[in-house]
Chains A and B, each alone.
Chain A
Amino acid sequence: MKKTFLAIAPAISLIAGAAAADEVRVYNWSDYIDEELLTKFEEETGLELIYDVFDSNEVLETKMLAGGSGYDIVVPTGTFLQRQISAGAFQKLDMSQLPNAENLWDVISTRTAGYDPDNAYSINYMWGTTGIGVNVGKVQELLGPDAPIDSLSLVFDPANMEKLAECGVHFLDAPAEMIPAALTYIGEDPDSHDPDVIAKAEDVFMAVRPYIQKFNSSEYINALANGDICVAIGWSGDVLQARDRAAEADNGVEIAYNAPTEGGQMWFDQMAIPVDAPNPEGAHVFLNFIMDAENMAAASNYVYYANGNLASQEYLAEDVIGDPAIYPSPEALENLYITTPFEPRVQRTVTRLWTKIKSGT
């Protein structure tokens, strides 16, 4: 769930026709891998890798449901994966071709089994949390040194937001993440599928709507790093990338990321093989390659997201494994919740509510 942006990103369309048996076509999130791994894969296996990227689950899902995507590996987020499995979009993994699966981390795979029972169709690639990124200096200047930078009240309490509006606040344009956050704030079940409960989120947003500069799921990385905005609800790794960009630029901006103390959402990006993949064998080779402890560690060290691979942890850089924003402590893990996909009718209510919140119509 890295960047939900527009469908118009040039998802490089595949030339129709039979793919050669020595090609593996991977469709992953943008900016989500160390590209050296791609070269390494080709050198080690002799297979040709065609690597395309997307930036929204919706775009991926539409390709999956239309059928004939031509990809061998795709990377949907848990809730989307679950729905696509029930639509019959994926094939079961052949575990005999995946010896590296023993590296997987049970803490994560027990949770992903909620989306994919027995993890029969997918393996975890990365996971993370949805939380609050702040420009510490600016927020403390406006709200005082005790500013609740790790609490949802920072972004949902109109008294705080009124002051923060001056320096800019972005919300994710992702109702499946934002509505659970608002429900958590008012003490409701974040995973509620009851339209009446979901409707309560509207008041929460409307109270702070005038102070929100923008609903967008990707611009906040740069905007936080440049100091253009001071608060964003965003995805863990993205905020950490903003933190590092600010540090590199040495512009005096200090960014911090926190999963909310009231409870934060945890999500999982899962690799799966489409039912009509042209080269399922090559797909298994790729999955096995990515589950190699050192390869997976290289990917995490590069993108600042945690992975579901226990063996990789000894190869992780200290600023990744040691950062509680990436790898939360076991107690903090307890405080994270997961959500399940909405039924079509409820989904319509949610989308409609979101349009109303954003556009006032």
Chain B
Amino acid sequence: MRKALVIAIPYLWLLALFLVPFLIVLKISLSDSVLAIPPYAPKLDLSEGWGGLMRFVSELDFENFAFLASDNLYWKAYLSSLRIAVIATFLTLLVGYPIAYAMARAPEEWRPTLLMLVILPFWTSFLIRVYSWMGILSSEGYLNQLLLKLGLISEPLTILNTNIAVFIGIVYTYLPFMILPIYAALEKLDGSLLEAAEDLGCSRTSAFWLVTLPLSRSGIIAGCFLVFIPSIGEFVIPSLLGGSDTLMIGKVLWEEFFSNRDWPVASAVAVILLLILIIPIILFQRNEQRQREADS
């Protein structure tokens, strides 16, 4: 009985915070856009009982999904978002891993302070921090002024409103999500393993590649997921830092929802985005579990 309860809680959580909202979005994606409050039809009226439900279901269709397939804008936007998210996640890992590593190797009494420093930027609004990057990266911005003064460049660089600015924005914003899980994995690492590796003739570098890196794998995977998933649907960073030609699915979704007022198509875009994200994750989890079972 108690065991059932313990299992039930995470499932209830999943049901309330994921499955129910998803079903609502799915329902809207199968409906049609109309000019009304709310702007889609049919609406489910439970007071009509079973007959009402049947009629409601009979009016739903997959027209909006067929529409998404008919215009190349959508898959181009999905692909472009995937590409941007993959590159940005990789860059975040490159920057985040050495920081996490240094933190984990720092003297124990420093660590709480270092951890605090990583979390500290969160105390300022995300929006303000992205806006500040506009000030730093613009052609008259601080970065260009500094480089011009140092004589490194003779003409201001165009960084703002390009994909480079989007990468900078994503790496900056999501860095803590990469650092924290890797740090957690590295901190647990048993130092005697490294000593053993060195005793057995490993150089420091190869000990890192053969021992430290594999043992921090779980942290790397968790960090990559935490960065990749939000960045693929990112809207604020590409719209503030990106250019008119930065194509990302978050912007397309915004336009469907706000400019076209087409909630059903916007919902269909969101459903597909979710499927793109969730299917690889499920496959990955399955694979992990199988491996764990094989190991034990």
Given contacts A6-B240, A88-B37, contact A361 B73 (CB under 8 A): yes
Q: Give bound CA distance, A37 to B98, whole Å.
A: 56
Q: Give bound CA distance, A59 to B257, whole Å.
A: 10
Total interface residues on B, CB under 8 Å, equals 33
CB distance from B235 to the nearest CB of A (A): 8
B247 & A359 in contact (Cβ 8 Å cutoff): yes
B244 adjacent to chain A (CB < 8 Å):
yes
CB distance from B56 to the nearest CB of A (A): 20
Q: Which of B108-116, B181-189, B223-231, B258-266 is near enough to bind chain A? A: B258-266
A355 & B262 in contact (Cβ 8 Å cutoff): no
By a CB distance below 8 angstroms, the chain B residues around A8 are: 127, 235-236, 239
CB distance from A169 to the nearest CB of B (A): 13
By a CB distance below 8 angstroms, the chain B residues around A97 are: none
Within A221-267, which residues are at the interface with B (CB < 8 Å)? 226, 228
A87 & B258 in contact (Cβ 8 Å cutoff): no
Residue in A86, A214, A347, A355 with the greatest tally of chain B CB atoms within 10 Å: A355
Q: Give bound CA distance, A359 to B255, whole Å.
A: 13
Within A323-361, which residues are at the interface with B (CB < 8 Å)? 344, 347-348, 351-352, 355, 358-361
A348 & B72 in contact (Cβ 8 Å cutoff): no
- Chain A contact-residue range equals 20 to 34
By a CB distance below 8 angstroms, the chain B residues around A352 are: 71, 73
By a CB distance below 8 angstroms, the chain A residues around B262 are: 344, 348
CB distance from B148 to the nearest CB of A (A): 16
A67 & B260 in contact (Cβ 8 Å cutoff): no
CB distance from A79 to the nearest CB of B (A): 12
A136 adjacent to chain B (CB < 8 Å):
no
Given contacts A348-B262, A352-B71, contact A358 B245 (CB under 8 A): yes
CB distance from A210 to the nearest CB of B (A): 12
B244 & A359 in contact (Cβ 8 Å cutoff): yes
Residue in A65, A66, A88, A215 with the greatest tally of chain B CB atoms within 10 Å: A65
A52 adjacent to chain B (CB < 8 Å):
no
Given contacts A86-B35, A89-B37, contact A65 B244 (CB under 8 A): no
By a CB distance below 8 angstroms, the chain B residues around A64 are: 37
By a CB distance below 8 angstroms, the chain B residues around A83 are: 35
By a CB distance below 8 angstroms, the chain A residues around B161 are: 214
A122 adjacent to chain B (CB < 8 Å):
no
CB-nearest residue of chain B relative to A343? B35
B261 & A61 in contact (Cβ 8 Å cutoff): yes
By a CB distance below 8 angstroms, the chain B residues around A344 are: 33, 35, 260-262
CB distance from A351 to the nearest CB of B (A): 5
Within A57-106, which residues are at the interface with B (CB < 8 Å)? 58-59, 61-62, 64-67, 83, 86-89
* B254 contact from A7, A10, A173, Cβ within 8 A: A7
Given contacts A65-B38, A344-B262, A355-B255, contact A6 B239 (CB under 8 A): yes
CB-nearest residue of chain B relative to A226? B140
Complex interface bits, B22-50 against A, C-beta within 8 A gives 1, otherwise 0: 00000000000101111100000000000
* B36 contact from A59, A87, A226, A228, Cβ within 8 A: A87
CB distance from B163 to the nearest CB of A (A): 12
B105 adjacent to chain A (CB < 8 Å):
no
A65 & B37 in contact (Cβ 8 Å cutoff): yes
B245 & A360 in contact (Cβ 8 Å cutoff): yes
CB-nearest residue of chain B relative to A213? B161
B245 & A359 in contact (Cβ 8 Å cutoff): yes
A58 & B38 in contact (Cβ 8 Å cutoff): no
B83 adjacent to chain A (CB < 8 Å):
no
* B127 contact from A10, A173, A175, Cβ within 8 A: A10
CB distance from A269 to the nearest CB of B (A): 18
By a CB distance below 8 angstroms, the chain B residues around A56 are: 258
By a CB distance below 8 angstroms, the chain B residues around A59 are: 258
* B72 contact from A6, A173, A361, Cβ within 8 A: A361
Complex interface bits, A5-23 against B, C-beta within 8 A gives 1, otherwise 0: 0111010000000000000
A347 & B260 in contact (Cβ 8 Å cutoff): yes
Q: Give bound CA distance, A83 to B33, whole Å.
A: 14
* B76 contact from A89, A348, A361, Cβ within 8 A: A361
Within B258-276, which residues are at the interface with A (CB < 8 Å)? 258-262
Given contacts A8-B236, A359-B244, contact A351 B260 (CB under 8 A): yes
A-B contacts besides A87-B37, A352-B73, 8 pairs, CB < 8 Å: A58-B259, A61-B261, A62-B261, A65-B37, A67-B37, A351-B260, A359-B245, A361-B247
A-B contact pairs, 8 of them (CB 8 A): A6-B239, A7-B254, A66-B38, A226-B140, A344-B260, A344-B262, A361-B72, A361-B76
Binding site for A on B (CB under 8 A): 33, 35-39, 71-73, 76-77, 127, 139-140, 161, 235-236, 239-240, 243-247, 252, 254-255, 257-262
The 10 closest A-B pairs by CB, nearest first: A58-B258, A358-B244, A67-B37, A359-B245, A65-B39, A351-B259, A215-B244, A87-B35, A351-B260, A359-B247
